[in-house]
Amino acid sequence: MPALESDWWSMGLRVAGVDEAGRGALAGPVVAAAVILPPPEEPTQYPFQDSKTLSARLRDQLADQIQAVALAWGVGWAGVAEIDRLGILKATHLAAGRALAQLAVPAEALLTDYLRLEREWRQYLHNNPPRPDSPGLLRCPPKADQNSPTVAAASILAKVARDRYMEGLEQRYPGYGFAQHKGYGTARHLQALDELGPCEEHRRTFAPVAQTGLF
């Protein structure tokens, strides 16, 4: 099956892929990454896959490879306060827009994993006017991280960046197990939340945290 961006590459367009990590967690930021890869010389050139299917060690290795081969890449963040104020969907869009804004090479087409970034893409094109022959195309199909090496690369960078951040919280907030569950609602995390109450990195508007009533 050809990559979702194959036809855009054949048109000579610079394709940005965007994906996020941490949308469903109970703690920590939501992180998005944007990546522009050069068109591959052969269909199997890029070994990038959905980050959720990879081991942590392989994700780290691939993240280094992505940053080395990419024409441009960026990582955007939306913190807990923004998530609680805006809601997780708008915060995810905010992080994605910030990731796009970091691209050192202008994107001419955008592919996301079912993340409808019409507004953010229009703003990006306003700030980075495309060539007259470049229409600023946008696609947001489901499961794009499984069928697009560009989106898969973005998913890896977002996941690696967020995991490293959550691992760093282990020292600041011991007892929650952030290094293991990365803020998601595992049994261990829910038990720690019940015993310790929420910390500053917990999302107050998410039900398991809000139900504690301890903030």
- Sheet hosting strand 109-112, strand order edge to edge: 72-78, 30-36, 15-21, 109-112, 137-139
pLDDT, residue 173, reads 97
Single-letter amino acid code for the residue at 196: L
Average pLDDT over the chain reads: 94
DSSP 125-150: HHHSPPPTT---EEE--TTHHHH-HH
Which pLDDT belongs to residue 71? 98
pLDDT of 212: 75
Residue type, 112: T
Backbone angles phi, psi at 38, to 5 degrees: -70, 145
End-to-end CA distance of the chain: 50
Classify the phi-psi angles of 183: left when phi > 0, otherwise alpha if psi is within -120 to 50, otherwise beta. left
| H/E segment holding residue 195 | helix 187-196
CA distance 58 to 183: 21
List 109's β-bridge partners, or say none. 15, 137
CA atoms of 182 and 21, how far apart (whole Å)? 11
The per-residue pLDDT for 78 is 98
Give the tokens for residue 115. Answer: 């993340």
110-161 confidence digits (pLDDT tens): 999 999 999 999 999 999 988 777 778 999 999 999 999 999 999 999 999 9
| Homologous superfamily assigned to 6-166 | Ribonuclease H-like superfamily/Ribonuclease H (3.30.420.10)
User: What is the pLDDT, as a whole number, of residue 215?
Assistant: 56
The domain ranges of the chain are 6-166
Collect the ranges in the chain with pLDDT lower than 50.
none
